[in-house]
Amino acid sequence: MSESRTLWWERATEILTDGSFAHELRQIHGLANLVEYSANPTEARQAAPFTYNADRLYETAIQLFLATSLELTAGAELSDPSIRRAFLTIGRLLYFLNLGEKEHFATEELLLQSAVSFDLAGYTANALVALRLKDGQLGYPRIHDEPSPADSLYLLLNRRIPELRRVVQRWNSRTTAPALFRNWQAHLSTAMDLLARFITGGGPELLERGTRSAQECARLLLQSGTTEDWLLARSFELVASRLWYTSPWLLLPQAVDNFSPLWSAYVRRLALGIGEPQESPITGDRVRSGCVIDLWPSQISALQSGLLRNESTDWVIKMPTSAGKTRLAEFQIISALTRQPGAVCMYVVPYVALANETRDSLRNSLGHIGIRVADLFQGEYALTDLDQALLVRNDVIVCTPEKLDLVLRRNPEFLSQVALFVFDEGHMIDDSPRGIRYEFLIDRLRRFRQRTGARFSMVVISAVVPNASELAAWIAGSDKALVDTDWKPTEVRFGVFHWRRGGRGDINYPDVSQGRGENYYVPHVIERSGPTKGAYPANKSDICAELARALVVAGPVVIFAATKRNVSAVAKAIQRTVTRDGAAFPIPTDAAHQTRLRRALVVYSDYLGEDHDLIRALKAGFAYHTGDVPQSVRAQIELLFQAGTIRLIVCTNTLAQGVNLPIKTLLIHSIYRGQGQPISSRDFMNIAGRTARALREIEGQVVFVHNNENPRFSVDEIEVRNLQSAGNHIISSIMLIYARLAQSRAELATDQQSQLVLRRMSKLRGQGVEDVDLEEGLAALNAQLLGLLVEEQIEEETVDAQQLLGGSLFQLQAEKYGVATAPIYSDVSGRLTGIRQSIIDTNIRKRYFQTGLSSESCQSLCETAGNFLDMLRVAPDDIAEADGILKAALSVALRTRETQPSHLALKIDDLGALFLDWLRGVPFSQIARPAGVSPEELSHAIEDVFVRKFPWGFNALFILTEDDIRVHRDPLPPYLQFLAALSRYGVPTIEAAICRAIGVADRRSAMRLGQVCPARGNLNAVTDWLASLQLRDLVEILGSADDAERVFDNLKDAQLGNPGAERFRGGQWLDVEVRGLRYHSRWEEISSLSVGDHVVLQREPNNRDDASAVRILLQRLGDEMLGYLDRDISRIVSPLLDEGFVMRATVSRIEPPSRPFPAGRLYITLVESP
């Protein structure tokens, strides 16, 4: 048997390394892609010039699977790289055979075995894609009445754990007891039951018994000679056995110092699914999907590096996009909250769009175990009192670097509450001029921890940092504190579209990394029609439009163009294609997609008007995404694309800024901006890396589009932009500023030294330093140097810059690359000394620092504040009568260099009237637009000035003139006290601003809620009131069912009733509020309760408003209902109740009726029973 097994494995190894097999694999790969893109697959197969033998390929796949399986039986490990490579090849081959030859083979058999192979290779996301394809082609399987290897394998592979538990229960509850099953069926049923219990609750003994039962089932089937069932049972056994290597229940306790109840709750919730309950197409039950039962190879590698050990505090994580970085960040958050209960974790991202997505993702995974997640990024350059209140209410705060910088300037004591900083998209450190703030922010945190002994950790995450070890040496003090993996669950292919003779268009995929020339190709993707001179498509924009029409059938398409002009040309070409074909790009017709589309059109129309190109584009089934499109509209475009409502976007690099989109194909229209300057390598790889999203595709493609018959020169483009490029290094922003300065100031270095710096920067970054804005960079540097003076409390006449910048990224890289630093340190010392001498008073210096503005801007604000301060004395109490003081505030706040409006289409005089309309909640479409100003320009003015710049300047004015303000007017009218927040959200009251801050998306609804809110001006009180609202309340308040449903969804997403991680103790939830008391008039019964009395929990899965609803019953009143669990707690508890876990509830607190809560308030404690 051993000799036979060895011969099988030797033969398998020969096949895997055989050139003819690789050639045939490339051919079936090409045909699979062609069939995906073709409207007529049969015709495509017949026309394709491929020579492989499909039957031989299938037989080879089965031989490889059996040989690899035998190798495992003989003692090989599933973690063996050669075993995993073999299974990956099998999975891909079977997947491509199904796509290319599905009429030739049985789809179910091919895709099920493909999914098994992907799973055993560690590519579980690809296994799910294969099963989804099977279900799409054949429909969902019918579960048998008796234990079946096919059913068991399908449910386990598909991570349908709730259905798996229910199927086992039904099998075991049939009149035929398990003991009467055929012997192998009894073993299979036992294996499924034990595995389900292990997956949802841990326990290695359960996994051991479960895998042993699965092995015995396979053995009995082999003896009985039922080959097909044996292969399925053997596959089930192997998939189950892989949990020994990948299960969080086994790996995480080994990787952390304290596997706390919070960890257990998190792992179990992942296993039970984190989506909303929906009807299962398999069993008909309402169950959750999205179950996570294993870790990916990249995540396992990170744990093995010691990522979660207490003694290893700071880390740099370098992983490709879609390789599981966010899950590692979640691990860090759970670990931090376990180490320091009641602490706060800060998740820092550079872009608002990415912050929105990150907040929602963390709420979805962490909110369901009671961890409160909030955002703090609107008006990122200002910190309001409302922001300060949000900081202390939540466990995780998602913010931008600018917002975190202001938090630390205004409230440095907050650092004592922080356990963890996660810096996502860490490559932004050298993004001038923002990078200087990002770099100094991390350095200031390092220095603060050294001074004070603070206990927080820092983690920097990026997908595109070739010199990640330098960042680790800087942040963690060791280049060993690095998780660096290239593993990715999907593959990205780089290809070139070109014409062949006869007008047929092919996509070639050159294997430039191996230097072997053409790897494989897809023929006849589109055709050129018409005479030579009038042929269509005639230019690259038309080609992109036709390619998009062909490729969108296979999955979502993004067309990238380097300039806004090119985006416009491509969008027009797509519109011409739609007009000529008489058919828009398809938009799903189901209710959810149509509701999403209708809501997006409302936003589009509100911001852009009814007759805008984007409106026409959306109705044609696509969108374009550039910096000219208002942020609110861009957010809607991203939402529609993520949801699959539209499947085609044309964009510039605005779409590369961190947002994760399900891109199957990225078409490259152009990579050169004006004057022949290519886009940066990092920008290119940022968007290219977002193709082939895990769980959506097994591979994606980046295709350079050419309008010629000789594409060979474009291979150079691929090589330049390839992930293996030597460029993209993160360079200290200080280094970049002085490299740029060296071009104009010879005293910084000799000409030879200057050229050396420039050459090094160009080589390492993959581009020169011409993109560095010198004026902005120096201003940002001066502002950060002021911060160092204040935080380090430096009083010496002459400041030693070398000592102050010790341990910085600049110093580390200067030493490593041999950059002459003496003239740079001299210049920095001069700047520090100049700042200190110009601001002698330490209190004034501290106030300057708190604003985040440069000292020159602070001085300018103080000098121009007189008129505003004089008007304060007579300022009216009502915002409706406050035109003068509001315009004066606007005029002063926008006078600094940092807060000056950057949109020149609007005059300063025009802003005053716009400001009043904005503050008073006038709908965007009704705001009076100055002549010659487009809707886009107006929207940008509002976002730039009223949302960002004015709150920053006005907050700075208050900080600098606080004493004078108190002299002139104390107390201030509420609208002036909270004016920065009102401006940020475009509403007239603080209650409406709170509604907007915690999740209500539109201004009109927020203002209406603010008007009727019985709690006034207090974040916690307003939040509690909003959390108590049911859908029927919102319909009554807003007067529109559609508006009410939208706001209800906003409030559910905000998780207002989430208790917070600090109230989860040892498997119990403390002080959970019961909602809806006023609907049942139960105060008399409630008032008779005592602390410690028992109440009953009962699921209500068919609740129209909330599928996770849990009712609270009073047993001594015949199970009469008192109310409902808060909906956020219901999301935590309902999955446990659905899966048979027992929760015990007792009264913990009772509050009598009050104005906001006329029926009183009832709180209970929930304890999970053993």
User: What is the three-state SS of 876-937?
Assistant: CCCHHHCHHHHHHHHHHHCCCCCCCCCCCCCCHHHHHHHHHHHHCCCCHHHCCCCCCCCHHH
Q: Residue 294 — very low, low, confident or very high, per pLDDT cuts 50/70/90?
A: very high
Q: Residue 1118 — very low, low, confident or very high, per pLDDT cuts 50/70/90?
A: low
Residue 726 has pLDDT above 70, yes or no: no
Q: Residue 513 — very low, low, confident or very high, per pLDDT cuts 50/70/90?
A: very low
Of 1046, 908, 44, the closest CA to residue 599 belongs to: 1046
CA distance 875 to 873: 6
| pLDDT the model gives residue 1107 | 80
| pLDDT the model gives residue 552 | 94
pTM for this structure? 0.90
| pLDDT the model gives residue 888 | 93
Q: Give per-residue pLDDT as tens, 210-264.
A: 999 999 999 999 988 788 899 999 999 999 999 999 999 999 999 998 999 899 9
Question: What value does the mean pLDDT of the chain take?
Answer: 85
691 secondary structure, DSSP code:
B
What are the DSSP calls for 939-956, one per residue?
Answer: HHHIIIIIIIIHHHHHHH
Residue 380 has pLDDT above 70, yes or no: no
| pLDDT the model gives residue 321 | 85
| pLDDT the model gives residue 1002 | 87
Q: Give per-residue pLDDT as tens, 820-862.
A: 788 888 889 998 888 888 888 889 999 999 998 888 899 999 9
| pLDDT the model gives residue 311 | 65
Single-letter code of the amino acid located at 12:
A
Name residues whose C-beta falls within 8 Å of residue 1143's C-beta, 6 or more positions apart in sequence. Answer: 1097, 1133, 1136, 1137, 1166, 1167, 1168, 1169
CA distance 351 to 377: 9
pLDDT mean over 303-322: 87
Instruction: List alpha helices for 346-433, DSSP H.
Output: 352-366, 385-391, 401-410
Please report, rounded to a whole number, the percentage of residues in the chain having pLDDT higher than 70: 89
| pLDDT the model gives residue 758 | 56
| pLDDT the model gives residue 425 | 87
| pLDDT the model gives residue 166 | 87
Residue 937 has pLDDT above 70, yes or no: yes
Residue 556 has pLDDT above 90, yes or no: yes
Q: Give per-residue pLDDT as tens, 387-398.
A: 777 777 789 999
Of residues 673 and 133, more confidently modeled: 133
CA distance 71 to 141: 31
End-to-end CA distance of the chain: 47
| Local structure of 45: helix, strand or coil | helix
Of residues 1007 and 775, more confidently modeled: 1007
Q: Say if CB 1062 and CB 341 are below 8 A apart.
A: yes
Of 537, 508, 530, 534, the closest CA to residue 520 belongs to: 508
| pLDDT the model gives residue 675 | 67
Q: Residue 593 — very low, low, confident or very high, per pLDDT cuts 50/70/90?
A: very high
| pLDDT the model gives residue 756 | 62
**Beta-strand relationship, 1143-1151 and 1094-1099:** antiparallel
Question: Which domains are delineated in the chain?
Answer: 1-139 (no CATH), 142-294 (no CATH), 297-484 (3.40.50.300), 491-721 (3.40.50.300), 733-848 (no CATH), 857-1054 (no CATH), 1067-1168 (3.30.70.2330)
| pLDDT the model gives residue 750 | 47
Single-letter code of the amino acid located at 1097:
L
Residues in a beta bridge with 173: none
Residue 722 has pLDDT above 80, yes or no: no
pLDDT mean over 864-871: 89
| Local structure of 460: helix, strand or coil | strand
Q: Give per-residue pLDDT as tens, 88-100.
A: 999 999 999 999 8
User: What is the three-state SS of 106-173?
Assistant: CHHHHHHHHHHHHHHCCCHHHHHHHHHHHHHHHCCCCCCCCCCHHHHHHHHHCCCHHHHHHHHHHHHH
| pLDDT the model gives residue 715 | 47
Q: Say if CB 317 and CB 332 are below 8 A apart.
A: no
pLDDT mean over 632-639: 89
10 Å Cβ neighbour count for 436?
27
CA distance 1112 to 1074: 8
Of 560, 558, 542, 550, the closest CA to residue 524 belongs to: 550
Name residues whose C-beta falls within 8 Å of residue 990's C-beta, 6 or more positions apart in sequence. Answer: 386, 974, 978, 981, 982, 1010, 1017
| pLDDT the model gives residue 92 | 95
Residue 1051 has pLDDT above 50, yes or no: yes
Query: What CA–CA distances, in Å, run from 215 to 119, 191, 243, 245?
Result: 18, 9, 14, 17
| pLDDT the model gives residue 723 | 38
| pLDDT the model gives residue 514 | 44
Least confident of 508-512, 785-789, 1111-1115: 508-512
